């Protein structure tokens, strides 16, 4: 099931995502695990479209609502904490930020992007409390199940850590959306579909499929410029995506089938910048193969 269908069926109206910024960091950047971050991660921690960290959460919500006001009338919103690692920090500060977001009258869902190795007992208790108020979604950056690839991208944890986090979250009734990157160096289409199958078989309730982007200022950009990394062509991506959707069960919500990196820092693949064209191909050549 596609996200828009799921949201309409669940809430009975248009639901729009508001990207917020909680001013977080990451154990892969603050020296706990590393200082360089994942090899593909931008300086903004994948939060280039997030709100102004200098504003309160409530003000960020209102500002983000104003930006999409022409697209949504009488609908609801998802408060999406996207940048860096959303469950990494002082538990009292996290509780304050997330309570402010979830209690906003127009927010229907609280969605938090984080790492599986940043889900401890205190975090689980906090998320359980919040989930009693409104639905909480946790978005986990798995990217791949293949340890060689995980080491290359400097993920910083093993796949069993992901599996344990999913189990702990699902035991508490919390939705889990897993991020997978298609096109990691050295991975065949078969390896990519193996990751998708693993996600589907191990408790996730949603999945995001993301094309590997090369962004300015990342270590991946250096590898790309040195000719050590190639990116997928548009045709290759469409073909791989088609094979992935064939194995995603109907009960798992497909939250994303592509991704558009910030054009100001996008190095490759440049074809992905034409979002309208890419989405058109996905509509024609991929979605007919989705399980329904």
Split into its structural domains, the chain has a count of: 1
The pLDDT tens digits for 228-238 are: 999 999 999 99
Res 70: pLDDT:
79
Q: Mean pLDDT for the chain? A: 93
Distances (CA, A) of 29 to 4, 56, 88: 34, 24, 12
User: Could you give the angle at the alpha carbon of 144 between the alpha carbons of 138 and 148, nearest 5°?
Assistant: 140
**Does residue 119 register a pLDDT over 60?**
yes
Top pLDDT among 232 and 67 is at 232
Per-residue pLDDT averaged across 83-92, rounded? 94
Buried b (16+ CB within 10 A) or exposed e, 179-203: bbbbbbbebeeeebbbbbebbbebb
Q: What is the pLDDT of residue 217?
A: 92
Prediction pTM value: 0.94
Which of the pair, 191 or 258, is modelled with greater confidence?
191
Three-class SS state of 167: helix
CA pair distance 60, 21, nearest whole angstrom: 8
What torsion, rounded to 10 degrees, do the Cα atoms 199, 201, 204, 207 define?
40
* Overall average pLDDT of the 158-173 stretch: 98
How far lies 181's CA from each of 25, 40, 79, 89, 292, in Å?
A: 21, 10, 23, 26, 23
Per-residue pLDDT tens digits for 246-291:
999 999 999 999 877 778 899 999 999 999 999 999 999 999 999 8
Q: Which residues pair with 81 in a beta bridge?
A: 20, 112
β partners of residue 2: 254
Could you tell me the CATH number of the domain that includes residue 226? 3.80.30.30
CB-based burial, 150-161: b 16+ in 10 Å, e otherwise: bebbbbbbebeb
SS3 of residue 77 by DSSP: strand
Residue 121 pLDDT greater than 90, yes or no: yes
Say which residues have a Cβ less than 8 Å from residue 125's Cβ, sequence separation at least 6.
none
C-alpha dihedral, 255 to 258 to 261 to 267, nearest 10°: 160
CA dihedral 243, 249, 253, 258 (to 10 degrees): 0
179, pLDDT greater than 50: yes
* Per-residue pLDDT at 48: 52
Per-residue confidence (pLDDT) for residue 147, from 0 to 100: 94
Q: What pLDDT band is residue 144 in, cutting at 50, 70 and 90? A: very high
For helices 159-171 and 121-131, angle between their N-to-C axes, nearest 10 degrees: 40
> What per-residue confidence (pLDDT) applies to 271?
95
Question: Domain range holding 92?
Answer: 3-289
DSSP state of 264: T
The helix/strand/coil state of 214 is: strand
Give pLDDT, residue 47. 46
CA separation for the pair 259, 283 (Å, rounded): 15
């Amino acid at each position: 099931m596609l996200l828009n269908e799921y949201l309409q069926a669940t809430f009975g109206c248009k639901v729009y995502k508001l990207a917020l910024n909680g001013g977080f960091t990451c154990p892969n950047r603050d020296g706990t695990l590393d200082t360089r971050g994942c090899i593909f991660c931008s300086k903004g921690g994948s939060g280039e479209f997030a709100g102004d960290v200098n504003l309160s959460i409530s003000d960020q919500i209102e500002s983000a609502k104003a930006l999409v006001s022409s697209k949504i009338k009488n609908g609801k919103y998802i408060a999406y904490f996207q940048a860096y690692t959303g469950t990494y920090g002082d538990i009292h500060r996290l509780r304050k930020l997330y309570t402010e977001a979830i209690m906003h009258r127009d927010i229907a869902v609280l969605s938090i992007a984080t790492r599986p190795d940043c889900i401890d007992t205190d975090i689980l208790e906090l998320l359980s409390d919040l989930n009693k108020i409104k639905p909480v979604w946790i978005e986990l950056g798995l990217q791949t199940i293949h340890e060689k690839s995980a080491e290359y991208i400097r993920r910083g944890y093993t796949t069993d850590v992901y599996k344990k986090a999913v189990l702990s979250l699902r035991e508490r009734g919390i939705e889990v959306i897993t991020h997978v990157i298609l096109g990691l160096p050295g991975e065949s289409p078969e390896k990519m579909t193996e990751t998708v199958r693993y996600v589907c078989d191990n408790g996730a309730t949603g999945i995001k499929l993301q094309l590997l982007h090369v962004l300015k200022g990342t270590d991946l950009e250096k590898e790309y410029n040195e000719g050590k990394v190639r990116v997928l062509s548009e045709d290759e991506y469409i073909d791989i995506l088609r094979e992935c959707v064939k194995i995603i069960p109907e009960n798992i919500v497909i939250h994303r089938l592509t991704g558009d990196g910030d054009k100001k820092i996008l190095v490759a693949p440049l074809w992905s910048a034409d979002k309208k064209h890419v989405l058109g191909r996905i509509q024609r050549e991929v979605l007919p193969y989705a399980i329904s």
